[in-house]
Amino acid sequence: MSDVSGVFAPIITPFRADGLTIDYAWLPYYLQFLQDQGLDGVVPMGTTGEGPSLSLDERKAFLETVMARKGRLKVIAGVGTPSLTQTAALVRHAFAAGVDSVLVLPPYYWRNVTDEGLLHYYRTLCDTALQPGQRIMLYHIPQVSGVPITLNLLDGLMHTHPECVLGLKDSSGQATTFLYFMRRYPTLRVFVGSDRLVGVAYEMGVAGTITAAANLVPGVIQEIRQLAGKGQSYQETQEALTALRDLLQEFSPIQAAIKVLLAHMLRMPPTYVRPPLVNLTPEQRVALVTKARQLPVLQPYLGQELSHGGSSGRGG
């Protein structure tokens, strides 16, 4: 298995205006932009990519398209459903497609299950879906999934299946959480999912980051990574990244805000979210891009033309 580390983007899933049809024509331009900007890898069908809103067939088709267009980018496929058999099918398909790893959400519908039940879920997944050398990453995002990756769960899985676990993504937003994971299991590759913690995360020696703003400014995150790795001050760059994240949060849902900005940055047609997420209104889109142009990290990418409909770009 190749080295899995560095700056990753949880890529969006571009939908057409109906919210149902995936706009595959977006992907070549989008993935090339991310690669050109210095990104190390992508995570399709994560939270930013609205993964739980896709059917199994859509997930498989989308991943295959990403793999065909990924270039040098590493790929960690977002998987995980409340159904153990469906999750296993997604894991098998992802590794057969050639991914570097998979990011496995816990079975999020079942909010009050015990660690014993979750441990049985993950052990069975490893036993039935993985071939020798294939390893999963656990996804800790309790504020969204409602099901945390606890230390008891991790302890149990590492006791019986250490060869199956590559690492985990911590999207709790708390530095103490990823530090605890790192110190307890120093061999695991811990990725941090908060844009606001990028600097401190790399300073503390995480394997990488998987953050929403990496869709827009991967080069900025790489700069923070390099500064932190050299022991140099990254505070000014981190503040600029945090300001971008604050702007995205102001125009929630964050998936919709990222899609509006990407359409302008790439000179592509607008792309949309799938219900139950809601698209920004025309007025919100204008306000978002207007404010984004005031951020130094985005000024190189955003031109001055602005309309309610988004960028002109290619047809379709």
Q: What is the pLDDT of residues 239-252, one digit of tens each?
A: 999 999 999 999 99
Percent of the chain with pLDDT over 70: 95
CA 96 to chain centre: 21
CATH code for the domain of 207: 3.20.20.70
C-alpha to C-alpha distance for 166 and 213, rounded to whole angstroms? 24
pLDDT value of residue 57: 97
Residue 269 has pLDDT above 70, yes or no: yes
Among 109, 114, 281, 290, the active-site one is 109
pLDDT value of residue 311: 43
Give domain status of residue 269, yes or no. no
Among 60, 70, 169, 259, the active-site one is 169
Give domain status of residue 308, yes or no. no
For the segment 51-78, the average pLDDT, to the nearest whole number, is: 97
Nearest to 157 by CA among 168, 141, 146: 168
pLDDT value of residue 302: 87
Do 59 and 45 form a contact (C-beta atoms < 8 A)? yes
Structural domain boundaries, residue 192: 6-231
pLDDT value of residue 129: 98
Give catalytic status of residue 139 as yes or no. yes
Among 47, 87, 209, 271, the active-site one is 47
Give domain status of residue 295, yes or no. no
C-alpha to C-alpha distance for 103 and 110, rounded to whole angstroms? 18
Give domain status of residue 163, yes or no. yes
C-alpha to C-alpha distance for 115 and 258, rounded to whole angstroms? 35
Q: What is the 3-state secondary structure (H, E, C) of the chain?
A: CCCCCEEEECCCCCECCCCCCECHHHHHHHHHHHHHCCCCEECCCCCCCCHHHCCHHHHHHHHHHHHHHCCCCEEEEEECCCCHHHHHHHHHHHHHHCCCEEEECCCCCCCCCCHHHHHHHHHHHHHHHCCCCCCEEEEECHHHHCCCCCHHHHHHHHHHCHHHEEEEEECCCCHHHHHHHHHHCCCCEEEECCHHHHHHHHHCCCCEEECHHHHCCHHHHHHHHHHHHCCCCCHHHHHHHHHHHHHHHHCCCHHHHHHHHHHHHCCCCCCECCCCCCCCCHHHHHHHHHHHCCCCCCCCCCCCCCCCCCCCCCCC
Give domain status of residue 255, yes or no. no
pLDDT in tens, 97-120: 999 999 999 999 999 899 999 999
Give catalytic status of residue 29 as yes or no. no
State phi, psi for 272 to the nearest 5 degrees.
-130, 165
* Better-scored residue on pLDDT, 3 or 74: 74
Structure tokens belonging to residue 46? 């994560």
pLDDT confidence tier of residue 291, bands split at 50, 70 and 90: very high
pLDDT in tens, 167-225: 999 999 999 999 999 999 999 999 999 999 999 999 999 999 999 999 999 999 999 99
Stated pTM of the model: 0.94
Domain count, the chain: 1
Lowest mean pLDDT among 99-108, 145-154, 260-269, 298-307: 298-307
Do 33 and 266 form a contact (C-beta atoms < 8 A)? yes
Q: How many residues does the chain have?
A: 316
For the chain, report the end-to-end CA distance as a whole number of angstroms.
39
Give catalytic status of residue 109 as yes or no. yes
Do 241 and 297 form a contact (C-beta atoms < 8 A)? yes
Among 139, 185, 202, 272, the active-site one is 139
Give domain status of residue 51, yes or no. yes
Give domain status of residue 250, yes or no. no
For the segment 40-52, the average pLDDT, to the nearest whole number, is: 97
In the Cβ-directed half-sphere of 305, how many Cα atoms lie within 13 Å?
A: 9
Give domain status of residue 84, yes or no. yes
pLDDT value of residue 3: 85
* Pairing label, strands 208-210, 41-42: unpaired
Give catalytic status of residue 242 as yes or no. no
